[in-house]
Structure 1
Amino acid sequence: MFMLLKGHYNKIEPASGAIIMACGIFLIGAVEAFPILDVIYGKYLAFFLLVAWVIIYKDLSIQFFHRDFLIPFIQNPVNSFVIGTWIAGVSVLCNVFLRYFPEILLLTQAMAIFNTFLWLFFLANCIYNFKQLLFDHKDYPVHGAILLSTVGTQSIIILLNNVFFQFPVYFSEAIIILGLIFYLAGISLLFNRYVRHHNWTLADDWANTNCIIHGALSITGLAIVTTNTFTPGFITYFWVLVFGLLISVEAVEVVRAIKRIKLYGWNKAIFTYHVTQWSRNFTFGMFYTFTLVMQENPFYPIAGFLYNLQRTFMDYWAWVTLLAILWEIAIFMKARMTTLYHEKLISHKTTR
């Protein structure tokens, strides 16, 4: 492969696109509950997000074309699904641009077209990997990252409808159904991993990415209410399903956190950073955004009692989403400062 590079490069976690996903979805959803952040500081936050995107995606792009990264990455039937974070990250950033910088629509559309081609590559990768996992490596230890197949797919149809025009319903339905097929394939693999097999523990083997169990359905719901596909009755039941999964999965997360604190102490269990934790922030923000757009779309009338439930829950959920993202930024900064401190110590010792 003549395009592949050799030599030194800045290594970056392949799932770092989740940082853009998590911060971006806050800026197009839950931020509406905080007018000061939205109206006064929104454009500044969006600009900082753009800077972060440039830094992260520059390193991701350079790393992608290095032989020692690309070949093992593509050959891993689970980890290669994190390309979905790259696609969803660009999709979310484009929607942030639409909200705060509508005057750069042409640039946003160009990014959307590029992202669509990246998704086509990802689509082929998803089909191949699902074949591997469903038929050739049935007992491979999967986790929620495989559901990024759904996240990346649904983010594309949302992006295209928002950035260009309302696509024909049958086209949007086809993409959304494809995402749901990926979801069902992923859930069957997770069921096999966590229900049929018992050689795992909640503290050590339940992955951060498993929150995408509800997050992938939240973005599916957002795709539906963005494109006006499916019926109002369907989306009502669908929202209730996603809400139930959100409560159930996050209850498991609480139990997991308690078990990890008992086993490893507060620092390792709660205060240690890992890039996959951003997936939780993304799923929290995505559920808020799904609910918000559903309420604002007159095509989907909501029964009074359900609307009141949603509004009450969202009043609290906005704060949960904000505090969760501030927490993640704090432990990210802590991890970065610790790394820089150790690097400085090593450099000092080698120069003595």
Structure 2
Amino acid sequence: MACGIFLIGAVEAFPTLDSEYGRYLAFFLLVAWVIIYKDLSIQFFHRDFLIPFIQNPVNSFVIGTWIAGVSVLCNVFLRYFPEILLLTQTMAIFNTLLWLFFLVNCFYNFKQLLFDYRDFPVHGAILLSTVGTQSIIILLNNVFFQFPVYFSEAIIILGIVFYLSGILLLFNRYIRHHNWTLADDWANTNCIIHGALSITGLAIVTTSTFTPGFVTYFWYLVFALLVMVEIVEVMRGVKRVKQYGWNKAIFTYHVTQWSRNFTFGMFYTFTLVMQQNTFYPVSEPLYHFQRTFMDYWAWVVLLAIIWEIAIFIKARVIQLYNEKLILK
């Protein structure tokens, strides 16, 4: 998903990479998607995995990543392989059906967390309810046709309701409770605090819902949250280095780190589409600020992906080496 977001957003800042290698990168993304989702499908329908997974009131929200991942891949296909539109539309229909299942799961688990398990240790993964929901309305509008405004607004508002519910739960954990530390209990997924709003903004500017004034203030809100959350991330990184050393704190791979790549790329894409949509005129000072910021932010998005791929490869090499030692 993170790599796909780059290919439909920040890649426009690197014309050579886009024009000469974009289709190849999109193909490699498809191969990676097939491998990952094949394993997920086998695991998902295994009884020993499915029931405990669905019953976990936080981890089950990870399904939102699967939905958003398919949505992003379909948008990548639209950009680089428009000739396979029928296949893309078929994937979109399948993804929508999965989202309907996810929707039931969201209602049930938000009820559990808000009323039955109020002290459950939640983290930013619950905001994937918003991510998955907004990705669907973006997908349907891009792959099929421009849906009626009231329909798009209803889906977007539903995503916002999920976001506010998730923020309430995060507020309960990190503000009301004090038995946590920044180094150990601030999750990688908490960067979705701004990422979920970025994809909400993208859904709005893709469907041309809500007013231009609202979108401008909304962009300021997302930008402010981006700055604040990433300051916390830097502080967390410093504390972890002091406590665990550079290798464990910075150079150790964990799958949840990809959420950071997703949020970085999504903010760029939200801003880009906002500027491209003539329904949302941007004041000249804001436009120049956004363009200047995006010139630098595109490099942040690219370097963050390269970094994540590098530590992923490092982790795989170490794992394979350890497996060989065990076999010996």
Same-fold status (TM-score > 0.5):
yes
- Alpha-carbon distance in structure 1 between the residues aligned to 2:192 and 2:221: 14
Coordinate RMSD, CA, aligned? 0.4
Deviation at 1:345, TM superposition (A): 1.3
Q: Which residue of 1 aligns with 2:211?
A: 231
Q: Which amino acid aligns with 1:75?
A: Q
Q: Which residue of 2 aligns with 1:315?
A: 295
Q: Which amino acid aligns with 2:209?
A: T
Deviation at 1:347, TM superposition (A): 1.6
Percent identity reads 86
Deviation at 1:330, TM superposition (A): 0.1
- Alpha-carbon distance in structure 2 between the residues aligned to 1:261 and 1:70: 36
- Alpha-carbon distance in structure 2 between the residues aligned to 1:257 and 1:52: 29
- Alpha-carbon distance in structure 1 between the residues aligned to 2:80 and 2:119: 46
- Alpha-carbon distance in structure 2 between the residues aligned to 1:84 and 1:343: 32
Q: Which amino acid aligns with 2:139?
A: L
Q: Deviations over 1:147-195 (max 9, x none)?
A: 0000000000000000000000000000000000000000000000000
Match of 2:131 among 143, 147, 151: 151
1:256 paired to 2:241: no
Deviation at 1:292, TM superposition (A): 0.1
Deviation at 1:210, TM superposition (A): 0.1
Q: Which amino acid aligns with 2:305?
A: I
- Alpha-carbon distance in structure 1 between the residues aligned to 2:191 and 2:95: 24
1:68 paired to 2:76: no
Q: Which residue of 1 aligns with 2:102?
A: 122
Q: Deviations over 1:4-42 (max 9, x none)?
A: xxxxxxxxxxxxxxxxx1000000000000011100000
Q: How does 1:36-185 map to 2 (within 5 A)?
A: 36-185=16-165
Q: Deviations over 1:319-345 (max 9, x none)?
A: 000000000000000001111111111
- Alpha-carbon distance in structure 2 between the residues aligned to 1:274 and 1:175: 32
Deviation at 1:72, TM superposition (A): 1.0
Q: Deviations over 1:85-112 (max 9, x none)?
A: 0000000000000000000000000000
TM-score by length of 2: 1.00
Q: Which amino acid aligns with 2:35?
A: I
Secondary structure (helix, strand or coil) at the match of 2:178 reads coil
- Alpha-carbon distance in structure 1 between the residues aligned to 2:94 and 2:20: 31
Q: Which residue of 1 aligns with 2:188?
A: 208
TM-score by length of 1: 0.93
Deviation at 1:67, TM superposition (A): 1.5
Q: Which residue of 1 aligns with 2:323?
A: 343
Q: Which amino acid aligns with 2:179?
A: N
- Alpha-carbon distance in structure 1 between the residues aligned to 2:102 and 2:93: 14
Match of 1:324 among 291, 304, 307: 304
Q: Which amino acid aligns with 2:117?
A: H
Q: Deviations over 1:240-263 (max 9, x none)?
A: 000000000000000000000000
Q: Which amino acid aligns with 1:317?
A: W
Q: Deviations over 1:40-84 (max 9, x none)?
A: 000000000000000000000000011211111111000000000
- Alpha-carbon distance in structure 2 between the residues aligned to 1:33 and 1:288: 10
Secondary structure (helix, strand or coil) at the match of 1:138 reads coil
- Unaligned runs of 5+ residues in structure 2 are none
- Alpha-carbon distance in structure 2 between the residues aligned to 1:200 and 1:41: 45
- Alpha-carbon distance in structure 1 between the residues aligned to 2:55 and 2:251: 32
Q: Which residue of 2 aligns with 1:13?
A: none
- Alpha-carbon distance in structure 2 between the residues aligned to 1:28 and 1:303: 25
- Alpha-carbon distance in structure 2 between the residues aligned to 1:201 and 1:72: 28
- Alpha-carbon distance in structure 1 between the residues aligned to 2:128 and 2:272: 22
Secondary structure (helix, strand or coil) at the match of 1:333 reads helix
Match of 2:313 among 327, 330, 333: 333
- Alpha-carbon distance in structure 1 between the residues aligned to 2:318 and 2:60: 29
Q: Which amino acid aligns with 1:149?
A: S
